[in-house]
Amino acid sequence: MRIDILTILPELLEGPFSASIMKRAQEKGHVEIHVHNIRDYASGKHKNVDDYQYGGGAGMVMMIEPISSVINELKAARNYDEIIYMTPDGEILEQAACNDFSLMKNIMILCGHYKGVDERIREHFITREISIGSYVLSGGELGAAVLVDSVVRLIPGVLNDETSALTDSFQDNLLSPPVYTRPEEYNGWKVPGVLLSGNFAKIEQWREEKAIERTKERRPDLLK
């Protein structure tokens, strides 16, 4: 899979992909992540990427030209399954969409800033608009990092134990059951006996019950 991210703040995306699972996924060749600085495509002495909005009002708007230059250059080189715009008024990111994205070959992600991008970019280039939650971030970069992380870990082969992505919370509309590790007892707090029983059928049954119980308690909306 190839992911191209368009941003005016590439330094915000240096950390999230350079450690742990995201780093290994790139090293093993499961994903290529390319970050493009939109300012490199801006013209003029000042390399402006934003301007005042027509009609007046506070806040700058990201201009069409530099963004369309990057998008057109990338589109000329390959086909994109989706060109995604990160925005608080997009569809809220859910696991089902992450699963869909993880099967795609090439995706492009545009990060907005200030008041957002000129609406014509959204009308003519963007195929999908994604929000990571009902709150406003300073820009789309952290949202893009969340989206990429949630998608890349689902690419077959990225996680060592393939089943571990399948047993994630949300994969079957259930939250995950509680987990425990050594010591067996700490401060008088004991690990549930069934997990030490060695009876795998019983353990599976216990985990399923706990997953349902937890989902009923915390996210009853998932059970509908």
Would you tell me which residues interact with ligand ADE (CB under 6 A)? 86-88, 112, 131-133, 135-137, 140, 143
Cβ distance to ligand ADE smaller for residue 103 or 136: 136
Tell me the residue number closest to ligand ADE, measured at CB. 143
Q: What is the largest CA-CA distance in the chain?
A: 71
Contacts (Cβ under 8 Å, ≥6 apart) of 65: 41, 42, 43
Tell me the closest approach of the beta carbon of residue 63 to ligand ADE, in angstroms: 18
Cβ distance to ligand ADE smaller for residue 131 or 150: 131
Cβ distance to ligand ADE smaller for residue 2 or 115: 115
Specify the residue for token string 């989706």. Answer: 82
Asked whether the beta carbons of 114 and 140 are under 8 A apart, the reply is no
Report the distance separating Cα 88 and Cα 116, nearest Å. 10
Tell me the closest approach of the beta carbon of residue 122 to ligand ADE, in angstroms: 13
Tell me the closest approach of the beta carbon of residue 112 to ligand ADE, in angstroms: 6
Asked whether the beta carbons of 104 and 82 are under 8 A apart, the reply is yes
Asked whether the beta carbons of 12 and 139 are under 8 A apart, the reply is yes
Residue of 161, 18, 171 lying closest to 98 (CA atoms):
171
Tell me the closest approach of the beta carbon of residue 109 to ligand ADE, in angstroms: 10
Cβ distance to ligand ADE smaller for residue 95 or 167: 95
Angle between helices 20-27 and 141-152 (to 10 degrees): 60
Cβ distance to ligand ADE smaller for residue 86 or 151: 86
Q: How many other β-carbons are positioned within 10 Å of the β-carbon of residue 127? A: 12
Tell me the closest approach of the beta carbon of residue 172 to ligand ADE, in angstroms: 26
